[in-house]
Structure 1
Amino acid sequence: MVSFRTAYLAHVGDTATAGDSVATLRAIVAAHNRSIPFENLDPLTGVPVADLSVESLTDKLVHRRRGGYCYEHNGLLGYVLEDMGFSVQRLAGRVVWMREGHSDEPPPQTHQVLAVTLPDGTGPYLVDVGFGGQTLTSPIRLQSGAEQQTRHEPYRLLDHSEGYLLQALIRGEWQPLYTLSLEPRPRIDLEVGSWYVSTHPASGFVVGLSAALVTDGERWNLRGRNLAVHRPGGTTRTHFDTADEVLEVLSQRFGIDLSDLGDRAALRARVDEVLDR
């Protein structure tokens, strides 16, 4: 039987990767970015995401050729890196990206990332392949202060009362993405968080459609009927008129196997309901 690690590496197109160096870590993050889309079609269609076992995540993201959100992306990558000899801790964060005008109350701690240390003790590195269109495209040192370049824009970590605040340099301005606690989280805590964001009636993953994919030179972000493709030279925006057009781009450009989601007419009807949310 093919191991989950072998199946994963074949899926992301990085079967030649070997060793446990920082170069290997960078290569796997890049391959993951290019190959597995961010998407919330399960919560959108009433399917909770509660099982974060290696078997469940490998089945969905590899064998069934679907995408997922942070708990699934970073969950699966964490299992793979551990199997390769890296030391991995699961951490949790609060998303503050694009929260202008929201309540002063802190957002829930419902984002999962990885702290990865090489076998020789180098690190730890912050690894996050599950933050949608603005996700990290390279591992960065888990330390505050210095600007750190990724394959795309620079990022930095600042000291924060909970641990760190991650920022990205976007259009010349440092934008806050999420705060990060340094306390490792057991799987049961992560599964509770995943169940919450995949079932709560006010969750953005339940009431709206989003998908993202990061190539070496582009960031593809879909929200409802609106697609933005960000490149170093600017942004191209496309407005889709129908749910069928949205489903076509999800299948053809994001590489999502929509047959895995059951009845096409029911899926089309559900997507049509949320095109403007």
Structure 2
Amino acid sequence: MTRLDHARLQAYLDRIGHARPPAPDRAALDSLIAAHLAWIPFENIDVLLQRPVRIGIDAVFDKLVARRRGGYCFEHNTLLAAALRALGYGVTPLAARVRWHVPDGVPTMQSHMLLRVEAAHLSHIVDVGFGGPTPYRALPLPPAAEADAAFPYRLTPAEAGDGAFHLYDMEVRGADGWLRLYRFDLSPQQEIDYEARNWYTATHPDSFFRKGLAVARSQGDARLTLLNGDFSVRAADGGLQRERLDTPGAVLALLAGRFGLALEPADAQALEAVLPALLESGRA
């Protein structure tokens, strides 16, 4: 399985401002997750600009670390998986069906990548690549009997899945209760399994990421998100603050500021050209 070599591991740790942990334990895992979410933003700019998205480790490392960009689930979790393996963790890639803002009864494909990580002889679910609310620490398997009142995420068992695998829901606490983010089982995925999913997500006209700008970053236990011109900050207690941006300049300034997204001039110019239509559609 892919893992970062010594030089790339150090570059990744420098990117997220984290020292090399002395042991592959749960505390270090949670610290690495929080640092990754704080320093490497989620973003779909290449998809929006109809550019190819490569999810092999060389392309992912170049984009997210060397060029200090962000990416989406296949990029983020591929990078983290390679770093965790280099640090001594056991990592198994998984796949999920997104249910965030999807009505019950509407089917979704397995379009999301997440990780099962072994730390201190225990299994955990880890995910740094969900564009909406994203857990900023690992969640143990099997799920805890009761949710942590101070942590706004939980895993809950769903109905039995096919074969030997059972289904689980990742949920976030909202102002009116728990909301489902995605559903998954524990069947291991191979790297090749993600190629078709990435191709669909990056190129299919029905893909959510082809229709608008989506950017996210964590700050402590708060999650910052930008959907076209709608900027929001979700607190750990489920509270939500919203702000509407009306000009491409305001969006680009926010990307460079609150999201810490380093865009090369050509990328910024290309994004600026498509933003007016996206901002107008958001006002419709």
Determine if contact 1:133/1:213 at 8 Å carries over to the other structure.
no
Identity %: 35
Matched ranges for 1:158-197 at <5 A: 158-162=157-161, 163-197=167-201
Correspondent of 1:83 among 64, 81, 86:
86
RMSD, matched Cα: 2.0
Matched ranges for 1:223-238 at <5 A: 223-232=227-236, 234-238=239-243
3-state DSSP of counterpart to 2:243: strand
Determine if contact 2:134/2:223 at 8 Å carries over to the other structure.
no
| Paired position in structure 2 for 1:139 | 138
Give the letter for the 2:102 counterpart. R
| Paired position in structure 2 for 1:56 | 59
Gaps (5+ residues) in structure 2? Answer: 162-166
**Are 2:209 and 1:205 equivalent residues in the alignment?**
yes
Residue 266 (structure 1) shift = 2.8
Q: Larger deviation: 139-148 or 219-228?
A: 139-148
Give the letter for the 1:130 counterpart. G
* TM-score normalised per structure 1: 0.91
Correspondent of 1:246 among 231, 251, 255:
251
Q: For 1:252 and 1:151, how far apart are their aligned partners in 2?
A: 28
**Are 2:126 and 1:127 equivalent residues in the alignment?**
yes
| Paired position in structure 2 for 1:107 | 108
Determine if contact 1:125/1:142 at 8 Å carries over to the other structure.
yes
Q: Deviations over 1:140-181 (max 9, x none)?
A: 112246234397413122233332122222224111111102
Determine if contact 1:67/1:256 at 8 Å carries over to the other structure.
yes
Correspondent of 1:72 among 61, 75, 81:
75
* TM-score normalised per structure 2: 0.89
Q: For 2:219 and 2:151, how far apart are their aligned partners in 1?
A: 10
Q: Deviations over 1:32-68 (max 9, x none)?
A: 111111111010001122x322211111111111111
Give the letter for the 1:165 counterpart. D
Distance 1:18 1:54, change over 3 A: farther
Aligned length: 271
| Paired position in structure 1 for 2:33 | 29
3-state DSSP of counterpart to 1:115: strand
Distance 1:164 1:191, change over 3 A: same
Q: Larger deviation: 58-67 or 168-177?
A: 168-177
Determine if contact 1:138/1:151 at 8 Å carries over to the other structure.
no
Q: Deviations over 1:222-246 (max 9, x none)?
A: 1111101123574322111111211
Give the letter for the 2:186 counterpart. L
